[in-house]
Amino acid sequence: MPDDSPLIRARGLVKRFGTFTAVDGIDFELRRGEAFGFLGPNGAGKSSTMRMIGCVSPPTAGELTILGLDSVRDGAAIRARLGVVPQEDTLDVELTVRENLYVYGRYFGLPRAVISERAAALLDFVQLADRAGDQVEPLSGGMKRRLTIARSLINAPDILLLDEPTTGLDPQARHVVWDRLFRLKRQGVTLVLTTHYMDEAEQLCDRLVVMDGGRIAAQGTPRGLIGEYSTPEVLELRFDPADHDAAADKLTAVPATRREVLADRILLYVPDGDATLAQVRALGLDPLTSLVRRSTLEDVFLRLTGRQLGE
C-alpha cells in the first residue's frame, strides 16, 4: 500500500437501527499520522461511526475501507491493527491492572515476553506503573481511562480510535489524559477521536468534521473552520433578564456579521469586539457583563446547527 493512500476511506456510509438512521451517508478520509476528530453533540452518530470503523458494527450501506481492507470482509485482520478506546470502559475490573494488559495482549496473539515488555513501557507511559499489581475496580475514572488507553496500545496499532476519551472525567484528570494523547500525537501516532468538547477538538485535532444528526455539517482544520464559519472575535453580552429582549431588538442597529440571541446571552460576531462594545454603549445599552473573546469551534457549531454543543 503506497504511503499516501488514506488509512480510512468512507463513502456514503450509513448506519440504521431499525428505521432510525444514526449515520446518514458520510464521507471522510484519514491520512497517516494525522489526528482526526468527530465533533458533535450527544446523538450525532459519533459512536456509531467509531464502531463501524472498529469493525464491530456492519455498515447498513456505503463503503468503508480501513488500511486498504474491507471493513466487513476483513474485520478480524483490520482489528488486529487497531487500538480501541470505547466510549464506555470495558476493563475487567476483577483482574489487576497488569492482568488486563496480559489478557488483551493474548487476544492479539502476542508472545508473553513481548506483552511483558510493552506492558511495562505502557504502564509507565500512562503513569500507572505503581498500580500494576492492583485490582482495577477501585481505580479512579481517570486511571481507568488511562489504563484503557494503555491497553489499546498493546498491539502497537496503526490507528488509535478514541471515543470520547475524557467524557465524565474531572478537569484535572482530563488534562492528564490530554497530555498523554498529545504525546502520542507528537510521536506520530494516527489518532481518530470523537468529542463533544470543543476545547478537546481544538487542542488535539489536526483536522475534524462537525457532525450533527448523523450528517457531516462541515470539515476542515480547527483554524480553517473558525475562519470559514465565524469571525475573528465574538462579543458576548449578558443583560438583566428583564431587559434581555429589548436589548436584543436595539442591538440590531449595531453592525455585526452575525448575531445569536441565546436564552441567557447575546453574541455578536464581529472583526473587532472592543470597537463593537463601544458602539453598544453608545446606543445607551448597559450590559451586566461583557466579554470579548476569540471565536471557537463552539461558535462554528452554533453557526452550522443553530444549537450549542452542550445541548
Question: Closer CB to ligand ADP, residue 2 or residue 18?
Answer: 18
Question: Are 164 and 51 contacting, i.e. CB atoms less than 8 angstroms apart?
Answer: no
Question: Are 6 and 159 contacting, i.e. CB atoms less than 8 angstroms apart?
Answer: no
Q: Any contact of residue 103 with other proteins (CB under 8 A)?
A: yes
Site for Mg ion in 87-106 (CB under 5 A): 87
Q: Are strands 289-294 and 258-261 parallel, antiparallel or unpaired?
A: unpaired
Q: Any contact of residue 43 with ligand ADP (CB under 6 A)?
A: yes
Instruction: Choose one: 38-46, 137-145, 149-157, 177-185; the region binding ligand ADP (CB under 6 A).
Output: 38-46
Q: Any contact of residue 156 with other proteins (CB under 8 A)?
A: yes
Residue 80, strand partner residues: none
Residues in the chain: 311
Sheet holding 233-238, edge to edge: 258-261, 266-270, 233-238, 289-294
Cβ 46 to Mg ion shortest distance, Å:
5
Q: Any contact of residue 58 with other proteins (CB under 8 A)?
A: yes
Cell 480553517 -> residue: 224
Residues 6+ away with beta carbon under 8 Å from 210: 39, 40, 216, 217, 218, 219, 225, 297, 300, 301, 304
Instruction: Name which position in 121, 262, 282, 288 contacts other proteins (CB under 8 A).
Output: 121
Rounded CA gap, 128 and 124, in Å?
6
Instruction: Name which position in 5, 11, 12, 42 contacts ligand ADP (CB under 6 A).
Output: 42
Question: Closer CB to ligand ADP, residue 152 or residue 276?
Answer: 152
Question: Closer CB to other proteins, residue 57 or residue 290?
Answer: 57
Could you list the residues that contact other proteins (CB under 8 A)?
Answer: 17, 51, 54, 56-58, 69, 73-77, 79-82, 84, 86, 88-95, 99, 102-104, 106-110, 117-118, 121-122, 125, 153, 155-157, 160, 183-184, 187-189
